[in-house]
Amino acid sequence: MKKLLPVIALVLAAAFMSILSDSASAKWKKSSASPSATQVDTGDKIVAVHLTSIIVSGASTHSSKEYKITAATKITVDAQPAKVSNLTTGMGVTVTPATDATVAATIDATSSGKK
């Protein structure tokens, strides 16, 4: 009986650690959403367009933010693929930041100014 006690304790400890590991892993997966999946306020408007960046004015915050545009930035206007040259001031815009929050992963603009 004394020889079985350590074996039983080891099996119970392994089962307990497995349960803890699974729950910790699930929590980590939930909280690991990348910033690129988070979109900026949809009431925003483009206030300036430059060759390598845009400045967006936040409707709810009354502040502006500059986003760098890289070769990896996906740009759409009215849900159609577009280029930086298709963006104009006054357009409604939703920007999805990249891992570096100063870089735009996606820029979704609307020509009507409503987003």
Per-residue pLDDT reduced to its tens digit, 10-65: 666 666 666 655 554 444 444 444 444 454 445 799 999 999 999 999 877 788 99
pTM, entire model: 0.62
Cα(75)–Cα(79) distance, rounded to whole angstroms? Answer: 9
Q: What is the pLDDT of residue 19?
A: 64
Q: Is the pLDDT of residue 70 over 90?
A: yes
Q: What is the pLDDT of residue 16?
A: 60
Burial label for 60, CB within 10 Å (0-12, 13-18, 19+), is exposed
Cα(10)–Cα(22) distance, rounded to whole angstroms? Answer: 18
Mean of the per-residue pLDDT values for the chain?
Answer: 79
